[in-house]
Amino acid sequence: MKPIRVLTVGMTATAGGVENFLMSYLGRIDKTRVRFDFLTRYEDAAFPDKRREIGSTYVIPRRSEDPAKYYKEIRAFFEQQAGEYDVLWDNECMFSDMTPLKLAAQYGIPVRIAHSHMPQNMDPSLAGKGRGALHRVQRRGLARYANVLWACSEESAKWACPDMNLPVTIIPNAIDAPAYRFDPAVRAQVRAHYGWEDCLVVGDVGRLQYQKNQSFLLEAFARLHEREPRARLALVGEGPNLMSLEAKAVDLGVDNEVFFLGHRDDVPRLLQAFDLFVMPSRFEGLGMAAVEAQAAGLPCLLSDAFPHAAAITQDVAFLPPEDPDRWAERLLDMLQARELSLRPDNTTAIARAGYDLTGAAEQLTARFEQIVREQSGFKRRFLLSQEGAETADALAEKARDDVQRIAMENGYALRCLPAHRQQGRWWQRISQTGKLLLAWSKMFLQLRHGDLLLVQYPLYPQGDARLTRAALHMLQWKGAKTAALVHDLDSLRQVRDAAARWSDQELLPRFDTLIVQNERMADYLQGQGARAGAIIFGQMRAYMTDAPLPERTLAHAVCVVGDLSCKHSRYLHDLPRTHLAWHLYGEGWKEMANRSDITWYGEEPTGLSGAFGLVWDGASTRVISGAQGAYTMLTSPLAMSLYLANGLPVIVWKWSAVASFVRENNLGLVVDTIDAIPAAIDALTAEEYAMMAASARHWGEQLRRGEMTRAALKQLG
DSSP 570-624: GGGGG---SS-EEEEESSS----TT-TTEEE--S---S--SSEEEE--SS-SS--
Any idea of the CA torsion for 282, 287, 293, 295, to the nearest 10 degrees? Answer: 160
The helix (run of H) or strand (run of E) holding residue 692 is helix 686-705
Confidence of residue 404 (pLDDT cuts 50, 70, 90): confident
| CA 369 from centre of chain | 22
pLDDT the model gives residue 480: 87
Strand-by-strand arrangement of the 513-516 sheet: 412-417, 381-386, 452-457, 481-486, 513-516, 535-537
Residue 592 pLDDT exceeds 70? no
- In this structure, of 473-477, 494-498, 544-548, 562-566, the range with the lowest mean pLDDT score is 494-498
* Higher pLDDT pick, 118 / 606: 118
Confidence of residue 339 (pLDDT cuts 50, 70, 90): low
Half-sphere CA count of 619, side-chain side, radius 13 A: 4
pLDDT the model gives residue 356: 83
Determine the number of helices (DSSP H) and then strands (DSSP E) in the chain.
Answer: 26, 25
* pLDDT, the chain, mean: 86
Residue 312 pLDDT exceeds 90? no
Confidence of residue 391 (pLDDT cuts 50, 70, 90): low
Confidence of residue 87 (pLDDT cuts 50, 70, 90): very high
* Higher pLDDT pick, 540 / 495: 540
Residue 119 pLDDT exceeds 80? no
Confidence of residue 13 (pLDDT cuts 50, 70, 90): confident
Residue 459 pLDDT exceeds 60? yes
**Angstrom distance (rounded) from CA 305 to CA 280:** 8
Confidence of residue 593 (pLDDT cuts 50, 70, 90): low
Residue 388 pLDDT exceeds 70? no
Residue 494 pLDDT exceeds 70? no
- In this structure, of 458-462, 464-468, 506-510, the range with the lowest mean pLDDT score is 458-462
**Angstrom distance (rounded) from CA 12 to CA 43:** 9
Confidence of residue 186 (pLDDT cuts 50, 70, 90): very high
Residues of the chain with pLDDT > 70, as a percent, come to: 93
pLDDT the model gives residue 240: 86
Strand-by-strand arrangement of the 316-319 sheet: 258-262, 231-236, 200-205, 276-279, 300-303, 316-319
pLDDT the model gives residue 490: 84
pLDDT the model gives residue 121: 65
Confidence of residue 583 (pLDDT cuts 50, 70, 90): very high
Query: What value does the mean pLDDT take over residues 399-413?
Result: 82
Query: What value does the mean pLDDT take over residues 75-103?
Result: 88
Question: Which of 124, 130, 131, 85 shows the shortest CA–CA distance to 104?
Answer: 85
Confidence of residue 422 (pLDDT cuts 50, 70, 90): low
Question: Around Cβ 66, how many Cβ atoms within 10 Å?
Answer: 12
Residue 137 pLDDT exceeds 80? no
Confidence of residue 90 (pLDDT cuts 50, 70, 90): very high
pLDDT the model gives residue 63: 86
Query: What value does the mean pLDDT take over residues 448-464?
Result: 83
- In this structure, of 127-136, 173-182, 472-481, the range with the lowest mean pLDDT score is 127-136
pLDDT the model gives residue 392: 53
Query: What value does the mean pLDDT take over residues 164-170?
Result: 77
Residue pLDDT, tens place only, 663-695: 999 999 999 999 999 999 999 999 999 999 999
**Angstrom distance (rounded) from CA 528 to CA 516:** 14
Confidence of residue 610 (pLDDT cuts 50, 70, 90): very high
* Higher pLDDT pick, 41 / 717: 41
Query: What value does the mean pLDDT take over residues 617-621?
Result: 84
Residue 286 pLDDT exceeds 70? no
Written in H, E and C, the secondary structure of 95-127 is CCCCHHHHHHHHCCCCEEEEEECCCCCCCCCHH
* Higher pLDDT pick, 628 / 219: 219
Confidence of residue 714 (pLDDT cuts 50, 70, 90): confident
pLDDT the model gives residue 354: 77
Instruction: Sort strands 612-615 and 557-561 into parallel, antiparallel or unpaired.
Output: parallel
- Please say whether the beta carbons of 200 and 233 come within 8 A: no
The helix (run of H) or strand (run of E) holding residue 455 is strand 452-457
Is cis: bond before 299, omega within 30 of 0?
no
pLDDT the model gives residue 373: 80
* Higher pLDDT pick, 159 / 74: 74
Give bridge partners of residue 557 from the DSSP assignment.
Answer: 581
Query: What value does the mean pLDDT take over residues 296-308?
Result: 86
